[in-house]
Structure 1
Amino acid sequence: MRRPLFRRIVDVVTVNDEYFQQRSDATGSLNDINVLHRSPIFDDVLTGRAPKVSYIVNGRENDRAYYLTDGIYPSWSTFVKSITFPTIEKHKLFAQCQESARKDVERAFGVLQTRFAFIRHPCLVWDKDNMGKIMIACIILHNMIVEDERETYLHYYDPDEFFNDMPTNRQPESYTEDDGQPFGFSTDRIGNLASYMVNREQLRNRETYNALKNDLIEHIWQKFDTNN
């Protein structure tokens, strides 16, 4: 990040949030500003807070978004896994399209990993809300940097930077905040238990998973088959 952009971000943040304003400690010294001082991925789905979606695949209407995953994930209605050993052309085409799209997502995440150490290394924040906010902040900062440096990319852009400096398996040094207190867990209560259980059952429904996957296989075959 170039210094003018960094200073502009710092100035706006410190003006609007006193958490990031430097103050003297007990010794009279100014404290350093540290932006990152301080899972379930389906909580919004289970509690009914997930964004509403609607799309039609193979003539069937769906109202739940899904994640592209590999074979280690369970067969849930919000996952679409590839086909490990496809034997027919229809399944081979689906596996190719699914894995290609998944690779695009992984590469986009890899770009963020190379830019932000917080994403590259094991997460020390245990609260899922804070994780989400930090991820959104990293994406916003990344987009601001791209916009600020766009005209310079032809001069020094090196794609190899996205494949070096990969995450390590080092153990984090501490699981506590700077003041010595342990990170807290989120304790948000479930507003409607009956609705939560219904959503949970739908989320884990294998029949819905199979129906969506089969519809996607047919949709991709009809749209992209070059022999048809």
Structure 2
Amino acid sequence: MSNWSSDQEVDDMVEEEVDSIVEEIQNHWTHTEDPQLPVFRRVHINRDREGGHIRLWNDYFSENPTNTQGMFRRRFRINKSLFLRIVNSIKDGVPYFKQSRDATGRLGLSALQKCTTAIRMMTYGSAADAMDEYLRLADTTAHKCLEEFVSGVINLFGDEYLRKPTTEDLQRLLNLGEYRGFPGMIGSIDCMHWEWKNCPTAWKG
């Protein structure tokens, strides 16, 4: 009986000490004005995406664009008519490229901005955050544009263009090459298939 009482007293003492320590910790945090816990807040950047679209439209797509057809071809590596065909097809076939309004009622990025972003990244090998200054979109959005653009092109044009050439295709290419003074040529002579050991990093791939 005495052993039981002694054990009980020890247990009571331990429990009381633990309660005291817990209470002390609680009081410390309750009365500490600055617990030094980091607070992260997302910074909102007004990128003026509407202004970015207007600038892009005036530079290349208006009735009297600032830049010529030749400048478009050089900077986009594609003819304007073909580019617009791709943009319109992707805008109708891929939901991501349909322009919509956000929770505040503002229009989101246009299909032209998104497709131009993807084309510029592939053409120049540019970093995603380099698209912000002209096209007005964040780097994460630029990455998303590129992914959706590539997937859209594969899904919409893959069966027609991303396939092995048929006999008729080969004959047409041979005829075209011969007409241009390169008989027997099927591929291109733009050196894109040549290995270049000292190729600039921006052109890699």
TM over 0.5: no
The TM-score normalised by the length of structure 1 is 0.24
Which structure has more RCO (C-alpha within 8 Å, separation ≥ 6)? Answer: 1
Higher strand share goes to which structure?
A: 1
Larger radius of gyration, structure 1 or 2?
2
TM-score between both structures, scaled by the size of structure 2: 0.26
Report the structure, 1 or 2, having the larger helix content.
2
